């Protein structure tokens, strides 16, 4: 972030600071030349030079600082101090402050001769969204106390790139009580309200119908085959919880929309519009930034359960669904494509719908969270793919994201420059062969962003 901010500042300053300097300097000279008789001594002349030079420097200083207040402040301060200041400022005039944030960006680009001359195209509606109209939405993070420094990194990026202008709440969930350090640090970083929930036993344990011996043997076998997290019980509870329970935690019932954030993720670009509002305004229910193929060893019979559900509940299947994103043989088998669920912005109301609950419960009864190692990513994705119309699933090209080991860096230089992205576009995963995003584009008859071929 630091080098880019510096670039932005020097780009912005150079035309403004050099243009006032030259005329000022010339004026000093010509004034002096026209009055040689009055200003006789060299000393007086020197004094005037110094005075004018000082005046010039002050003018330049005022111009440069007054046009860039929103950038210099957050960079200098530590997390706590930064928060204190910005919180206060925003509480007073939330819409004004956000106006300040947007204004310098547009003027900087407009006056900069070598700027890429950005048009606000599709972003026009987005940048103009009114931040004072707050959505009924929250960030949500499942974490352990030991994840504190990793989640702190994630929060700081989400705040710097987006939430410092919007102040959405943040819900933290844990199967154990959060400790004081976790609460102190996270609440100092989040600009909205923070809430901490402890997950009840039924949502983080083996259901009664699971055969414990069978489950244990699976774990032993997966450990031998070196399947990642294959021997872990807690990872399975986590996947089942994220698949079927996070959205019905008491704290989550207070919201309609969620944005999931995991420890150690990165956001590389500014998000200068409200994605929650975008989702509502465009009738979206689920969204993603990265898609890929699932590791087949973890879900060998998942699709059998899905087929069972489709037979049992045909009434829940959306008419214009995304079955073709999930299957290459009209539903006979699963092609393993899924949206990566460590990033999600979605509708809690949809997850709480009878359709999704029936879907989850059918899967849960078959026990694959424990007899295999079903992930919440394929579960959410198949749910979204079958229960939602395909127009209700959104791909956020402009939200740049990293979770080990994949990066989504927006395709299109114009977008990257405008949003002050610091990701390397050659790391973008979207158009690589192991990504399913091309498939999503083809199914939805979307035009791929200009320049995608160069990122294959």
Ligand X SMILES: *[C@@H]1O[C@H](CO)[C@@H](O)[C@H](O)[C@H]1NC(C)=O
Ligand Y SMILES: Nc1nc2c(ncn2[C@@H]2O[C@H](COP(=O)(O)OP(=O)(O)OP(=O)(O)O)[C@@H](O)[C@H]2O)c(=O)[nH]1
Q: How far is CA 136 from CA 169, 258, 456, in A?
A: 9, 9, 38
Stretch that binds ligand X, among 65-73, 249-257, 261-269, 383-391 (CB under 6 A): 249-257
Choice from 106, 254, 354, 456 touching ligand X (CB under 6 A): 254
Task: Round to whole Å and give the CA distance between 385 and 334.
Answer: 12
Interacting residues with ligand X between 128 and 187 (CB under 6 A) = 136
Q: How far is the CB of 176 from ligand Y (least distance, A)?
A: 7
Q: How far is the CB of 256 from ligand X (least distance, A)?
A: 4
Phi and psi torsions of 84, nearest 5°: -50, -50
Stretch that binds ligand X, among 44-52, 100-108, 248-256, 374-382 (CB under 6 A): 248-256
Contact mark string toward ligand Y, 85..124, x via CB under 6 A: ----------------------------------------
Whether residue 222 contacts residue 193, with contact meaning beta carbons closer than 8 Å, is answered with no
- Assign 339 to helix, strand or coil: strand
Taking the least distance from each CB to Mg ion, the nearer of 51 and 228 is 228
| Residue 252 is a binding residue for ligand Y (CB under 6 A) | no
Interacting residues with Mg ion between 252 and 291 (CB under 5 A) = 262
Where does 282-421 have alpha helices with state H?
302-312, 323-326, 348-351, 354-366, 368-371, 376-387, 413-418
Helix (H) or strand (E) holding 141: strand 137-142
Number of other residues whose CB lies within 10 A of the CB of residue 455: 17
Task: Round to whole Å and give the CA distance between 456 and 442.
Answer: 16
- Cis-peptide, bond into residue 337, ω within 30° of zero: no
Task: Round to whole Å and give the CA distance between 268 and 415.
Answer: 12
| Residue 128 is a binding residue for ligand Y (CB under 6 A) | no
Residue number of the CB closest to Mg ion reads 262
Q: Round the CA-based radius of gyration of the chain to a whole number and report it.
A: 27
344 is catalytic: yes
| Residue 73 is a binding residue for ligand Y (CB under 6 A) | no
| Residue 313 is a binding residue for ligand Y (CB under 6 A) | no
Task: Round to whole Å and give the CA distance between 94 and 104.
Answer: 17
Contact mark string toward Mg ion, 328..357, x via CB under 5 A: --------------x---------------
Size of the site for ligand Y (CB under 6 A): 13
Of 216, 199, 205, residue with least CA distance to 240: 205
Contacted by 256, from ligand Y, ligand X, Mg ion, none: CB < 5 to 8 Å by type: ligand X
Q: Give me the residues that bind ligand X (CB under 6 A), please.
A: 136, 254-256
Q: Which stretches of the chain bind Mg ion, using CB under 5 A?
A: 262, 342
**Residues forming the site for ligand Y (CB under 6 A):** 141-144, 147, 174-175, 234, 238, 262-263, 342, 404
Instruction: Return the active site residues.
Output: 344
């Amino acid at each position: 972030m630091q080098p880019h901010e510096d670039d932005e500042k020097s780009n912005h300053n150079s035309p403004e600071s050099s243009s006032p300097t030259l005329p000022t300097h010339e004026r000093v000279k010509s004034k002096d030349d026209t009055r040689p008789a009055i200003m006789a001594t060299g000393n007086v002349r020197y004094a005037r030079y110094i005075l004018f030079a000082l005046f010039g420097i002050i003018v330049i200083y005022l111009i440069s600082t007054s046009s860039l207040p929103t950038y210099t402040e957050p960079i200098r301060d530590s997390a706590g101090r930064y928060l204190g200041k910005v919180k206060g400022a925003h509480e007073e005039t939330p819409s004004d402050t956000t106006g300040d944030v947007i204004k310098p960006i547009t003027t900087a680009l407009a006056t900069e001769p070598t700027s890429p001359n950005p048009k606000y195209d599709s972003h026009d509606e987005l940048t103009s969204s009114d931040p004072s109209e707050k959505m009924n939405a929250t960030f949500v993070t499942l974490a352990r106390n030991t994840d504190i420094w990793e989640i702190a990194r994630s929060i700081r990026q989400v705040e710097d790139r987006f939430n410092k202008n919007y102040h959405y709440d943040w819900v933290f969930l844990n199967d154990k009580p959060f400790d004081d350090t976790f609460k102190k640090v996270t609440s100092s970083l989040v600009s909205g309200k923070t809430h901490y929930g402890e997950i009840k036993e039924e949502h983080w344990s083996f259901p009664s119908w699971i055969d414990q011996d069978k489950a244990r043997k699976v774990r032993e076998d997966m450990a031998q085959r070196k399947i990642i997290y294959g021997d872990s019980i807690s990872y399975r509870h986590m996947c089942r919880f994220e698949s079927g329970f996070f959205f019905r935690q008491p704290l989550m019932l207070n919201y309609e929309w969620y944005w999931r954030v995991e420890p150690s993720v990165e956001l590389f670009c500014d998000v200068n519009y409200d994605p929650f509002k975008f989702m509502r305004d465009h009738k979206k229910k689920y969204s993603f930034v990265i898609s890929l193929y699932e590791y087949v060893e973890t879900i060998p019979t998942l699709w059998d359960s899905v087929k069972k559900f489709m037979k049992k509940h045909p009434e829940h299947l959306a008419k214009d669904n995304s079955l073709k994103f999930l299957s290459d043989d009209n539903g006979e088998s699963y092609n393993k494509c899924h949206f990566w669920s460590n990033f999600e912005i979605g509708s809690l109301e949809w997850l709480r719908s009878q359709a999704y609950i029936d879907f989850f419960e059918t899967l849960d009864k078959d026990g694959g969270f424990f007899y295999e190692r079903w992930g919440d990513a394929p579960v959410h994705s198949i749910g979204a793919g079958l229960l939602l119309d395909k127009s209700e699933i959104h791909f956020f090209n402009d939200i740049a994201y990293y979770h080990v080991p994949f990066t989504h860096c927006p395709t299109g230089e114009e977008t990257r420059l405008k949003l002050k992205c610091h990701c390397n576009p050659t790391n973008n995963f979207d158009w690589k062969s192991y990504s399913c995003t091309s498939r999503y584009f083809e199914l939805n008859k979307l035009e791929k962003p200009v320049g995608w071929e160069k990122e294959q």
